[in-house]
Amino acid sequence: MTVIDMKNDMMTIEDFEERAMAYGADLDAWPEEDRAPARTLLAGSAVARRAMDDARALDEALALWDGPAPSQALMSRVLTDAATVAGEAPVAASAPALRTGAGWLARVFGNRPMLRPGLALAACLALGFVMGTTLEEQVMVPVDTGMSVDAGMIDFAFALEDDADLLLGPGSLL
Amino acid sequence: MVETRRSAPRSGSDAQDDDSLIARFANGDQSAARLLTERHLGRVLALATRMLRDTAEAEDVAQEAMMRAWRNAAKWEPGRAKFSTWLHKVALNLCYDRLRKRKSASLDDVAEPVDDRASAQDGMEASERLDVLKDAMEALPERQRAAIQLRHFEERGNDETAEILGVSIEAVESLLSRGRRALRDKLAGQRALLLEE
């Protein structure tokens, strides 16, 4: 063993007391590299043994504190939640909406429910304006154009709602 | 003591299984949810109970943490993190939120401090020691309390504890040492009071 190895294997009594206070009296719970020097100190130092007794007393006090077992009611609530989320899965899986214009708008404007009706209305007005100004000379305007646009806007608004879950990243849930 | 600390099953080796179960759940397998719940709910509940010392609140936290697991199942990336580490981090953050709300509550709503001597009778019985310990734990700074929960009760390694707490490994050791020393001093102070009487 070299001098450097000996130094690495050494542990001061202060270091020992610090580790004992941090990790307790079970040497297996200590960082692996500290265990051997700790055993060496324990064998030769009454101070180290006292520190270990001190840590053991605290370990024993902590061991009295059992955590409660989950009640059946809590288990049921958690599993009901899981079933509910699983039931929502097909809705959340409608990912292609993100690739539509609705998904793009949702990215731009954010996931704010207050904006959805406003966006739909604005889109209706804009489309109406465009059609009114650019198509006014076309004679063959379908009678039900307005209706089909309305229906499209309704689908569009729903698509925005569908995107809501998809816009949440894991980080935002922490 | 050693037997007690070793009695709780370790979850570290189950990481791959957890990933598989999450994938199964994301594909609609409800039995996977039951297995994950049976495996993790108890530990999450114990963590929340010791952090909050309120059974109803701890149950709410445990339920919410599991709910977030279900909601994130489809986005889970196997191998990126250990599921139990992620779940404990979520639960711990939920506990922190509730503890901060308590702190911000009106002082009028805060319970009177417990008189340590009130429970001192013939000697320091185990249940009394436990009461003192619980009070002492509650008085610890949040991160010291969490470090003790994770290392002592959950038997998490230093690296995993550091990851959950978002601190360095050296900081974990410091948090543990300061926290446990405060608990020891509190228990020693209680004994001294008993001896004086």
Q: Which domains occur in chain B, in start order?
A: 11-110 (1.10.1740.10), 112-197 (1.10.10.10)
**Same-domain pairing of A99 and A40:** no
How much is the ipTM here? 0.76
User: How many residues are listed for chain B in this entry?
Assistant: 197
Q: Which domain holds residue A136?
A: 92-168
Please judge whether A57 and B187 are an interchain contact, meaning their C-beta atoms are less than 8 angstroms apart: yes
Q: What is the pLDDT of residues A4-61, one digit of tens each?
A: 444 446 899 999 999 999 999 999 889 999 999 999 999 999 999 999 999 998 998 8
Residues of B in contact with A92 (CB under 8 A): 74
Q: Tell me the chain B residues in contact with residue A87 when contact means C-beta distances shorter than 8 Å.
A: none
Centroid of chain to Cα B183: 16
Which pLDDT tens digit goes with each residue over A97-115? 333 344 444 444 444 444 4
3-state secondary structure of A30: coil
Question: How far is Cα B116 from Cα A165, in angstroms, rounded to an integer?
Answer: 50
Facing residue for A67 by CB, picked from B45, B73, B148: B45
Phi and psi at B141, nearest 5°, equal -55, 150
Q: Does A138 map to a domain?
A: yes
Residues A164, A105 within the same domain:
yes
pLDDT digits (tens, 9 = 90+) for B142-168: 999 999 999 988 888 899 999 999 999
pLDDT digits 0-9 by tens, B62-83: 999 999 999 999 999 888 888 9
Nearest CA in chain B to A78: B63
Look at residue A28 and tell me if it is in a domain.
yes
Whether A105 is in a domain gets the answer yes
Q: Does residue A87 belong to any structural domain of this protein?
A: no
**Number of independent structural domains in chain A:** 2
A-chain residues near B89 (CB < 8 A): 174
